[in-house]
Structure 1
């Protein structure tokens, strides 16, 4: 099914015609000419059945005895096919907030994830006739696509290689929108935007995963501290040699060891003053 336009006439013109026919029918009955008045009344009833009102950013799908006649998208007061069924379809932008879903990421870790999907109907014929209920179809397909995308990536990438759900939310949202569009095209729905609204480890592993993240952060920080300490020690030794203080390898090693301990230690260094020997 594809959307198409249907016949329509300005409703105010139809009202004028309707009033004129009713007035003419009354006149014909008053002069005792029912043979003309009865058809006029029948035509007036036909016109009355074709009146419809469409609100802004809404549409009416016109069905005439089981046949799709077309869609009226323009808001206003219209006359359409008589004795037809007028089914309203909203063209406004809408949000769908998914429930918090429990999914296993690509590493098998259970996570909780949720998303918001912004969509609107662009083909009323597909939305009305190609699926049973397009709103329910959007909900089910959105949750299915969210599960599929979440299961293809890890929650967090500790080695900073590849995408992760937490570290690449923009890229994940873009991929989710593309997959949703491919699933919802059959229902005549256009996906405007998709965003993750909730992302967390499941409660049963949240504590363990927090400890792992803290350990990874401590290791990374220690690596940076050691890297900086080595540079500081090398710079100090070079400066001493530049000032004319020549150190033998043993003293260099001792000095490097003392500086590394003082810099890398997570506690303040306690200085020990060598006052010399009594003998």
Structure 2
């Protein structure tokens, strides 16, 4: 009796003693869960606040998914000067410049006749009457200056416009318009002319760095079909629009995976569509219109090509060895089965194993292989 009481008192402990801490199940990847909550009989227990789980590291079991960091959105290409938009420049027909040049030359001849310095041969050729002249005075020099300026201004502004070519005009750094007309034109000779090709153009790049979906380094040659849509932005909004287009293509190749020609069906078209969209969006603010960016040649990088070549040779060699081994095993099996079924030999397990080994070595030697 006393023993029972003593055991009971020891298991229950003193009532007024210090309370013992509840036993806990520790889980370093989630939180702490009290044991008594797992064995409660209450059908509807009160909710217990639980601290949020903190995942220290991934254990490799797949129970806790890896938290991915949000990818920052791609920043759009900044717009150039909103006022820098292509507009037609004011030009005159070429006949106006020719007329001004002829008038200037005629004025110089008339001034020379007025001053009396025109040679006799010129008088006879032009059928002008002889005139003693008033000499070269201030009035004659002023007439010379005016006629010469008119002639130079008229003839110096003559220009020939060609189909598919345009001129971007600016005066002292200020954009004055674009000339897309063809034929003989007269353009103000004080304006600076920048010739630009506005035809549909294609650019075949040299091998550029790229990667496939697995991150394997590739060399890609792309064909870009494009043209200059806004000459003002292409010539004045960026330093060199052709170099800018090249950099856009290289940046797009760094973001879009390119598959080898023998890859999944449709991968090449998806890569071309993605490249076209990215390059067109980057080139639009500088007045370039991109129609297509097509990979025309895809090959492994030099540092990867040798390894891929060795891998392919190893795969072909493994297939060849597997086919030879399968053929040898089938031949040995067929030979042993025929000998046994026809009653030519009676073999126990040991003799069967020896015969199979000898036949395998013989067949492999006959096929030029080494017995395994």
State the TM-score, normalized to the length of structure 1: 0.67
Q: Does 1:12 find its partner at 2:95? A: yes
Contact 1:115 1:196 in 2 (8 A): yes
Contact 1:115 1:146 in 2 (8 A): no
SS in 2 for 1:177: helix
Q: Does 1:137 find its partner at 2:266? A: no
Contact 1:96 1:116 in 2 (8 A): yes
Q: Identify the match of residue 205 of structure 2 among 88, 98, 105.
A: 98
Contact 2:245 2:283 in 1 (8 A): yes
Contact 2:221 2:296 in 1 (8 A): yes
What stretches of structure 1 of length at least 5 have no aligned partner?
Answer: 220-264
* In structure 1, C-alpha distance between the alignment counterparts of 2:252 and 2:109, rounded to whole Å: 63
- Point out which structure has higher relative CO (alpha carbons under 8 A, 6+ apart): 1
Number of equivalenced pairs: 227
Give the Å deviation of 1:92: 2.6
Give the Å deviation of 1:121: 1.2
Q: Identify the match of residue 167 of structure 2 among 60, 63, 72.
A: 60
Q: Does 1:70 find its partner at 2:153? A: no
2:216 is matched with 109
SS in 1 for 2:190: coil
1:181 is matched with 280
* In structure 2, C-alpha distance between the alignment counterparts of 1:74 and 1:173, rounded to whole Å: 35
* In structure 1, C-alpha distance between the alignment counterparts of 2:255 and 2:224, rounded to whole Å: 15
* In structure 2, C-alpha distance between the alignment counterparts of 1:197 and 1:87, rounded to whole Å: 33
Give the Å deviation of 1:8: 1.0
Deviations 1:182-210 (Å, cap 9, x if unpaired)?
Answer: 11112211113211122223344446556
Contact 1:50 1:84 in 2 (8 A): no
Q: Quick check: which has more Rg, 1 or 2?
A: 2
Give the Å deviation of 1:17: 3.0
Matches within 5 A, 1:69-88: 69-88=176-195
SS in 2 for 1:92: coil
SS in 1 for 2:215: coil
Matches within 5 A, 1:83-232: 83-150=190-257, 168-206=267-305, 209=308, 211=311
What stretches of structure 2 of length at least 5 have no aligned partner?
Answer: 1-83, 116-138, 320-325, 345-372
2:51 is matched with none
State the TM-score, normalized to the length of structure 2: 0.52
Give the Å deviation of 1:214: 9.0
Contact 2:100 2:153 in 1 (8 A): no
Aligned pair in 2 of structure 1 residues 267, 20: CA closer, same or farther (>3 Å)? farther
- The structure whose residues are more often helix, as a share, is 1
Give the Å deviation of 1:41: 2.3
* In structure 2, C-alpha distance between the alignment counterparts of 1:114 and 1:87, rounded to whole Å: 31
